[in-house]
Chain A
Amino acid sequence: MSDHVVPVRVYLIIFFTLMVLTALTVRVAFTDLGPMNNVIMLGIAITKATLVVLYFMHVRYSDRLTWILVSTGFVFVVLMVLITMSDPLSRGWLGTPGS
């Protein structure tokens, strides 16, 4: 359980990592990498969110029930976006009937 006392040193390391990743994402935004821009920026955001969840929110030190609950939340957001996007992204595939 989260009775585990996380050392202050760990919090500071996570804090500095988050700051460096923020600077990195801004640096990437102003560099033209084509479609990779979105991929890298989203990757950095997911990395930052994961660090916050695991260390600041103590999930790394929590029981398995918490792990399942937290993953479920994020998995369902991904499902919501993917299933919704399957419609607009596939609309042009079959053409418009009658034209």
Chain B
Amino acid sequence: MSERVGTVAHAHAHHFDDAEQQHSASTLGMWLFVVQEILFFGGLFTVYTVYRSAYAEPFAHASHHLDVTLGMINTAVLIASSLTMALAVHAAQVGRRAGQVGYLLLTILLGSVFLVIKTIEYGHKFHEGFFPGPNFRYPGDEAKAAEIFFSLYFAMTGLHALHMVIGIAILAVLVVMALRGRFGASYYTPVEVTGLYWHFVDIVWIFLFPLLYLIGRH
């Protein structure tokens, strides 16, 4: 069996009954990967919980050195990028090629804005001496615990940013595929599973923002 998608005929692999089953298997496989990623970041959130419970006050004070405004802007940018990603999947499902390309490019743009803001933030932290290691400088007598906070800050946001860089690279490939008319109502699996990845990265940030930027602000 083969179906026409845009200008390209699309057949399912021989070990699947039909294209529908193949699509189900692909999304389930992607979810399996995302679940593994949830547990991967879960390990870091566990370390965070252990150290924050041990050093509640120093963590709250160290959190004050992060820029809430930039963090909030980045949260909004990332949620907006999730919307454009969802709309790209929608455009693929209904076979609108211009919409696919437009929304994918918009997602790449918003992802890049997030990374630029993150880079500016990192620059400030480096400049202030908050990067853990031999050159770590911190006012007051809570330097040891604050260094743990900033180790977690850089490890968690750094891994998150790495995921975004990879996501943007995959989105760039999707743009080329969309331009070639590869996606339509009967085949949009790559857009769908990339969407799952992108939204997962958004979810990680949804937890990172309050846990890193917003503790002990009152």
Cβ contacts under 8 Å, B93 to chain A: 5
Q: Are B23 and A52 in contact (CB under 8 A)?
A: no
Q: Are B83 and A74 in contact (CB under 8 A)?
A: no
**Considering the complex, which residues of chain B in the window 55-103 have a beta carbon less than 8 Å from any beta carbon of chain A?**
68, 72, 75-76, 79-80, 82-83, 85-87, 90, 93-94
**Listed residue (B32, B54, B200) with the most chain A CB atoms within 10 angstroms of its CB:** B200
Cβ contacts under 8 Å, B50 to chain A: 84-85, 88
Decide if B214 is an interface residue (CB 8 Å cutoff).
Answer: yes
Cβ contacts under 8 Å, A65 to chain B: 28
The contact size tier of chain A is 35 or more
Please, how many angstroms separate the alpha-carbon atoms of A37 and B80 in the complex?
A: 26
Contact digits for B35-60, partner A, Cβ 8 Å, 1 yes 0 no: 11011001101100110011000000
B216 to chain A, nearest CB (A): 8
Contact digits for B190-203, partner A, Cβ 8 Å, 1 yes 0 no: 00100110011011
Decide if B148 is an interface residue (CB 8 Å cutoff).
Answer: no
Decide if A8 is an interface residue (CB 8 Å cutoff).
Answer: yes
Q: Are B35 and A15 in contact (CB under 8 A)?
A: no
Where chain A touches its partner, the secondary structure class is: helix
Please, how many angstroms separate the alpha-carbon atoms of A58 and B202 in the complex?
A: 15
Q: Are A88 and B218 in contact (CB under 8 A)?
A: no
Decide if A80 is an interface residue (CB 8 Å cutoff).
Answer: yes
Q: Are A31 and B23 in contact (CB under 8 A)?
A: no
Q: Are A52 and B202 in contact (CB under 8 A)?
A: yes
Beyond A52-B82, A57-B196, A77-B39: 19 further Cβ-contacts under 8 Å?
A2-B27, A3-B23, A5-B93, A11-B83, A11-B90, A15-B80, A18-B82, A22-B209, A33-B218, A52-B199, A52-B206, A56-B199, A57-B195, A57-B200, A69-B32, A70-B35, A73-B38, A77-B46, A84-B50
Residues of chain B whose beta carbon lies under 8 Å from any beta carbon of chain A: 20, 23-24, 27-28, 31-32, 34-36, 38-39, 42-43, 45-46, 49-50, 53-54, 68, 72, 75-76, 79-80, 82-83, 85-87, 90, 93-94, 192, 195-196, 199-200, 202-203, 206-207, 209-211, 214-215, 217-218
What are the nearest 5 A-B pairs in CB distance?
Answer: A73-B35, A77-B42, A29-B214, A32-B218, A73-B38
